[in-house]
Amino acid sequence: MNKAFYILAVFLLLLGTGLVLLPDREHSDEASPGELLSNLRNPSRFISTDKVAEMIISQDPALLLVDVRDMYDFLDYSLPGAHSIPLEEIMMYNWVDSLSYKQSQIVLFSNSDILADQAWVLLKRKKYENIHIMKGGLNHWFETIIQPEPPAETAADDEIDRYQFRKGASIYFTGGAVPLEQETSTEAVMVKRKNKTQLVEGGC
Partner 1 sequence: MTGPLIPMGIIGQGWDLVIALLIGMAFGYVLESAGFSSSRKLAGVFYGYDFTVLRVFFTAAITAMVGLLYFGYMGWIDLSMIYVNKTFLIAAIVGGITMGLGFITGGYCPGTSMCGIAIGKIDAMVFTGGMLLGIFIFSEGFPLVKGIYQGYDLGALKINEVLGLSTGVFAILLIIVALVAFVITRIVENKVKKVEY
Partner 2 sequence: MKFKHPNRSFVAFVVIFVLVIVIGLLTINKPDLKYKLSIDESVEQLMANEDKIYPEDLVGIIEMEEPGYVLIDLRNPYEFIKGHIAGAINIPTNSILSKDKLKMFNRYAADSTVVVLYGQTQLEANGPWMILKQMGYDNMKVLLGGYHYFTTGPLDFYDMPEIPEYLVEEPAYDYYGIMEAMGSKSGEDAGAVGQPQIVIPVRKKKESVVEGGC
Partner 3 sequence: MTTSKIIDRSKKYANPYLSGFLLGMVLLATFYITGRGLGASGAIKSTVVTAVVTFAESHAANSDYYSKFISDDSHPMNNWLVFEIIGVLAGAFLSGAIAGRLKLKVEHSPKITSRTRLIMAGFGGILFGIGSQLGRGCTSGAALSGMASMSLAGFIAMLTIFGGAYFFAYFFRKFWI
Is 4 near partner 3 (CB under 8 A)? yes
Least distance (Å) between residue 64 CB and partner 1 = 21
Is 10 near partner 3 (CB under 8 A)? no
Q: With respect to partner 3, which residue has the nearer C-beta, 1 or 152?
A: 1
Residues 109-138 that bind partner 1 (CB under 8 A): none
Q: Which segment (5-13, 45-53, 68-76, 112-120) binds partner 1 by CB under 8 A?
A: 5-13
Contact between residue 79 and residue 63 where contact means Cβ atoms under 8 Å apart: no
Least distance (Å) between residue 23 CB and partner 2 = 11
Least distance (Å) between residue 151 CB and partner 2 = 20
Q: How far apart are CA 204 and CA 24, in angstroms?
A: 32
Burial class for 37, CB neighbours closer than 10 Å (0-12, 13-18, 19+): exposed
Backbone dihedral angles phi then psi of residue 108, each to the nearest 5 degrees = -90, 140
Query: 18: number of CA atoms within 13 Å, CB side?
Result: 6
Q: How far apart are CA 102 and CA 75, in angstroms?
A: 28
Q: Which segment (5-13, 28-36, 89-97, 120-128) binds partner 3 by CB under 8 A?
A: 5-13
Residues 18-47 that bind partner 2 (CB under 8 A): 18, 22, 25-26, 29-30, 32-37, 40-41
Tell me the number of residues near partner 1 by CB under 8 A.
Answer: 19
Is 130 near partner 2 (CB under 8 A)? no
Q: How far apart are CA 105 and CA 102, in angstroms?
A: 8
Contact characters 82-101, partner 3, x per CB under 8 A: --------------------
Q: With respect to partner 3, which residue has the nearer C-beta, 14 or 37?
A: 14
Beta strands in the chain (DSSP E): 46-47, 63-67, 83-84, 105-109, 131-134
Q: Which segment (6-14, 137-145, 159-167, 173-181) binds partner 1 by CB under 8 A?
A: 6-14
CA dihedral 143, 61, 186, 146 (to 10 degrees): -10
Q: Which one among 127, 156, 158, 183 touches partner 2, defined by CB under 8 A?
A: 127
Contact between residue 135 and residue 117 where contact means Cβ atoms under 8 Å apart: no
Is 72 near partner 1 (CB under 8 A)? no
